Structure 1
């Protein structure tokens, strides 16, 4: 009877010890699983941060990328900042209408309203407004006569570089010059190339 009771007690103790070992093993396994999971998450975060750094998508880097182009644009816009607006206009008009840059000088003449369109013939009609004439050093360079409208457009007058005689035109000089006044063409003047504009400004000879 005593041996049987002792055997039962030993079995109970063994079962308790076995159960305790299983619980310890399970806790140890759970702890290891959590450690592995934390490690994987940490490595994944580091990988994500590294990718973000390589791609250069941070706000600071985006700002530093935009700033140079903005400063570049300002620099281009200021290329003509030191020149008077009327001189820039003279050069741009010449470049667009005539296009000849290989001239020694660009002469500028101002003609007031009421003056003869053809200054060599008293039968000529008068200009209805102030006009500007641009010409090269020689007659072959060409001539441009226009008035500015203050909005980027000009009224272009078809004034010849060499005035014909009445025998050459088969009409009176009055009618010939009147047609010039009536048939002006409004043209929008492009900004053109800044370097070419500056080169022509340097050749300006402005006469009153």
Structure 2
């Protein structure tokens, strides 16, 4: 009788141990499956990242090659020619029939038609198209990507009362000097810049 009870207890212990082992094995298998799934997801994510990096690198290389090729279009032209074209495109925006550039020496009256006019403090450049409707720009370069723009009218249309009074002419032209503004010059597309350089006189 005692032996049967001992046997029964042993069987219960074996059954419990076996069940515990089965549960542990199942848990381990489930964990292993999750690890495998996570590993696969990580691998796929890494592949996606690598593909994205390769594409970005290829796009950057292509863009750099394109930029380098375009920049070469301006080789052989002077800094002034390039700047004049960029200034015109920045401030006027459209290609003129031709682009003229003339130096205005320091001491030249802003209004050469009337006595008493203030004068240019430094040499300046006047850019103008083939005809007056295309516009004009009077400026000096700071040689750092910016220019000083003088708001000089293309036509001086002041009344006789002012024209005959040197003090009023001086005040009017001095106001222009006092309102010179600094403008950032856009680098612009080299092809557009080249188109304007080609029509410079």
TM over 0.5: yes
CA distance in 2, matches of 1:114, 1:133: 15
Paired residue secondary structure (2:200): strand
Deviation string, structure 1 residues 81-129 (Cα, Å, up to 9, x no partner):
4445544432332234333x14222222223324454668898664321
8 Å Cα contact 2:114/2:166 also seen in 1: yes
Deviation track 1:131-165 (CA, whole Å, cap 9, x = no partner) reads: 11111122321211111234544332233434669
Contact 1:103 1:141 in 2 (8 A): yes
Structure 2, unmatched stretches of 5+, are none
User: CA–CA distance in 2 between the matches of 1:55 and 1:173?
Assistant: 78
Match status 1:95 vs 2:89: yes
Gaps of 5+ in 1: 1-10
- State the structure with more CA Rg: 1
Match of 1:133 in 2: 126
With normalisation by structure 1, the TM-score equals 0.65
Aligned-residue offset at 1:186? 1.1
Structure 2 distance, partners of 1:102, 1:63, is: 40
Q: Cα RMSD between the aligned structures?
A: 4.2
1:161 is matched with which residue?
A: 154
Per the normalisation by structure 2, the TM-score is: 0.67
Structure 2 distance, partners of 1:156, 1:22, is 100
Cα displacement (A) at 1:42? 1.1
Counting only pairs closer than 5 Å after superposition, residues 8-23 of structure 1 correspond to structure 2 as 11-23=1-13
Alignment check: 8 A CA contact 1:80 1:198 kept? no
Say which is worse superposed, 191-200 or 166-175, in terms of deviation.
Answer: 166-175
8 Å CA contact 2:114–2:169 kept in 1: the answer is: no
